[in-house]
Amino acid sequence: MEASITFKKVSQLVDGEAVLAGLSFGIENNSTVAIVGENDDSGLKEFIKLTAGISNPDYGALYIHGLDSIKRRKEIRSLIGYVPLENDMDPWLTAMQNISFINSFYNIDNKKLSERYRFYVDALDLNEILNIQVNRLSPGTLKKLTLMRELARDPKILVLDNPTGFMNAKDSALTWDLLQSLHKKITIIYSSTDLSKIEKFHDRILVFHNGKIDLNDNLENMLKNWQGQYQFKIQFEKFLTPLFNKIEKVKEIISPIKDDDTLIFNANHRSALLIIMTLLTGVTINDINIKKYHLRDLLVARYMRGGIL
Amino acid sequence: MIKALFIRRLWIIKNRLLTTLGLLLILPIFINVIINLPFKRLVVSPLWDIPHEQWIFPGLTLIVIVMMMIPSVSRDLFDLRILNKLLPSLALTPISRSQYLFNLLVIILIEAVVYTVIIMSVYSILISPGFIFLDYLIMFPFFLLFIALTANILTTLALIVDKTTLHILLVLSFFLFIVFASGTVIEFEYFPEIIGTIFSYLPTGQILLSLRMALFSDVINWWIIFSAIITILIWTFLNGLLFTKRLIK
């Protein structure tokens, strides 16, 4: 698939210290990439700034739709929409004045722009607030307005820093619905602290750790490569070692542990349990517990406790 | 781009119409009461042998224009930059930053010209200087030069500092300089000789001196006008560079 964004050995310095080091990878056209920063120094903020075009790489090169991000800056600007974490609207103008002002610098047909305004005003429920001065609006509403402003330009790439930050439940739902309707139509790159949303809405997850991309895959593959997607706990009345030795040899199960009379193991499919059951004739089972792993479990195990088992 | 900036300026004025109109009427009266009236009693025999009202008219007008310009420039280039509003999204548009600043200064100039007409009208009623229409026309190009120069100075002050308190202090000092040391209401001859000479050779002093020469002696010093234009253009270019640098982090 054609690359939407390509990083070639990109490094970024902040106060003389490298916060991104030698990034080389590509983001496919029309894919949705969720970004997670493991900590404040992860490099996530700098990654977003680079992708959105706020800063230029200190080393290496960045290509947007094959165009060099520095040499072809003007052409690139029309391809990218950026929704920052905090609103950047002019406090002395109304909502609609703000949106019209910024979009007037892009060469867009007024008729098309008006049509898109109408569409996104309805989609994000912004009708009531368009003529209100923005310093009287809530941060969540301003976030929706910023999203509308950027989408009205029909960007090929949309970069969002915490897309539903400061929003109430209703606004958050509207925003996610709108973003999901754009899935596979444009390239979406977003950071979020809402891991459950990330699990549901991504083609790829990038996990930043100490200025490098530590994990780069979809959730299913990440969990598979970690220790499986499910954790099983079977509590026996009496769990003998010969049985455990037999279970250990089943190739579908990952890292089995015998904890007194309890068997704990991981697997990528729930059907692994059925394979184990066939080995358990004549054994009394007191309880079975199946847990699906989430992104949070992986992140906690990897960065906070060194393993949750 | 200039159209977009012009429309934005109209929107800001429209959104704050009462405040703007109120200031345009109150400030000339205020400056007249606190500066013109006491100075009229203080300066018994003017050095230029010209009626006090005529001599002080350009200076009073320029003081109010500078007062009206301070919020405009500070809002657009200091507040927005410090609060991280508008300018980040502007920096991401396909327009060049220095081009934006140049157009912004042109808009500030247009706005100041409109204010100038209103302020001159207010002062014509308030202090009755007894000018003919041609005198007002002669004053206008010099006002434009003075406004362009002070807009550039205010732009630099808005771009070089990041602390609000320091910015206020600098703007306040600059305003005091305009009132007392640029020849608006105090003649340079009243200062100690060296200081008066230095002030009179500064661009602000030069513009006011040549304005009064054109107005009262019918002498137009083209050299000063030309130098002022060159100074303004170079200053605008440098401000453009500064603005570009300040927006790229």
Residue-range domains of chain A with CATH: 3-223 (3.40.50.300), 228-292 (3.30.70)
Whether A307 has a pLDDT exceeding 60, the answer reads no
- Chain B residues within 8 A of A89 when measuring between CB atoms: 85-86
Query: How would residue A18 be classed by pLDDT, with cut points 50, 70 and 90?
Result: confident
Size of interface A-B (CB pairs under 8 A): 71
Residue type, B212: R
Which residues of chain A make contact with B11, given a CB cutoff of 8 A? Answer: 93-94, 97, 101
Q: Cα–Cα distance between B160 and B78 in angstroms, integer? A: 9
CB-based contact (8 Å) between A89 and chain B? yes
Write the pLDDT tens digit of every residue in B2-31: 888 899 999 998 888 999 899 988 999 999
At A301, the pLDDT band (50, 70, 90 cuts) reads confident
Contact A143, A190 (CB under 8 A): no
How does DSSP classify residue A128?
G
C-beta atoms of A54 and B91 within 8 A: yes
The pLDDT, as a whole number, for residue A282 is 78
Of A147, A143, A125, A122, give the one whose Cα is nearest residue A134: A143
Nearest CB to B84 within list A53, A88, A106: A88
Point out the residue among A53, A90, A106 whose CB comes nearest to the CB of B85: A90
Name every chain B residue with its beta carbon within 8 A of the beta carbon of A55. Answer: 248-249
| Predicted local distance difference test score (pLDDT) of residue A309 | 37
Asked if B93 and A90 come within 8 Å (Cβ–Cβ), the reply is no
Distance CA(A90)–CA(A88), nearest Å, equals 7
ipTM above 0.85 for this complex: no
* Contact criterion met (CB < 8 Å) for A88 and B95: no
Mean pLDDT of A24-37: 90
B192 touches chain A (CB under 8 A): no
Residue A40 has pLDDT above 80, yes or no: no
Q: What pLDDT, on a 0 to 100 scale, did the predictor assign at position B47?
A: 62
Cβ under 8 Å to A: B residues 51-80: 75, 80
| Nearest 10 degrees: Cα torsion B110, B114, B120, B121 | 160
Interval A176-222: pLDDT, tens: 999 999 999 999 999 988 888 999 899 999 988 888 888 888 888 88
Whole-number average pLDDT of chain A: 88
Q: How far is B145 from chain A (nearest CA, A)?
A: 28
**Between residues 82 and 121 of chain B, which touch chain A (CB distance below 8 Å)?**
83-95
Burial class (CB in 10 A: 0-12, 13-18, 19+), A243: middle
Residue A302's pLDDT is 81
Q: What local confidence, expressed as pLDDT, does residue A98 receive?
A: 93
- CB-based contact A101 B4, cutoff 8 Å: yes
Least confident of A173-187, A292-306, B169-183: A292-306
Q: Of A34-48, A125-139, A183-197, B166-180, where does mean pLDDT reach its minimum?
A: A34-48
Is any Cβ of chain B less than 8 angstroms from the Cβ of A11?
no
Name the pLDDT band for B90 (thresholds 50, 70, 90): confident
Mean pLDDT (whole number) for A242-260: 88
How close B2 comes to chain A (CA, Å)? 10
A56 touches chain B (CB under 8 A): yes
CA distance B14 to chain A (A): 10
Say whether residue B246 is in contact with chain A using an 8 A CB cutoff. Answer: no
* Of B80, B215, B45, residue with least CA distance to B155: B80
Which residues fall within 8 angstroms of residue B180, CB to CB, at 6 or more apart? Answer: B186
> What gap in Å lies between CA A195 and CA A303, rounded to an integer?
15
Closest by Cα among A199, A197, A209 to A41: A209
Q: Is A217 helix (H, G, I), strand (E, B) or coil?
A: strand
Which amino acid would we find at residue B3? K
Residue A41 reports pLDDT greater than 90: no
Question: Mean pLDDT throughout A44-49?
Answer: 88
Of A74, A88, A98, the CB nearest to B88: A88
Window A:102-121, CB contacts with B under 8 Å: 102, 104-107
pLDDT at A308 over 60: no
Question: Nearest to residue A106, comparing CAs of B93, B86, B8?
Answer: B93
How many angstroms separate the CA atoms of A300 and A306, rounded?
8
pLDDT of residue A119: 94
DSSP annotation of A27 reads: E
Cβ <8 Å between B90 and A102: yes
**Contacts with A77 from chain B: Cβ below 8 Å:** 92-94
Contact B89 A52 (CB under 8 A): no
Using a CB-CB cut-off of 8 Å, the residues of chain B touching A157 are none
- If pLDDT is split at 50, 70 and 90, which confidence band does A54 have? confident
pLDDT value of residue A228: 84
Q: Is the pLDDT of residue B45 over 80?
A: no
Q: SS3 of B130, please?
A: coil
**Is B248 within 8 Å of A84 when comparing Cβ atoms?**
no
Beta bridge partners of A64: A5, A67
Q: Which residues of B touch A54 (CB under 8 A)?
A: 88, 91-92, 249
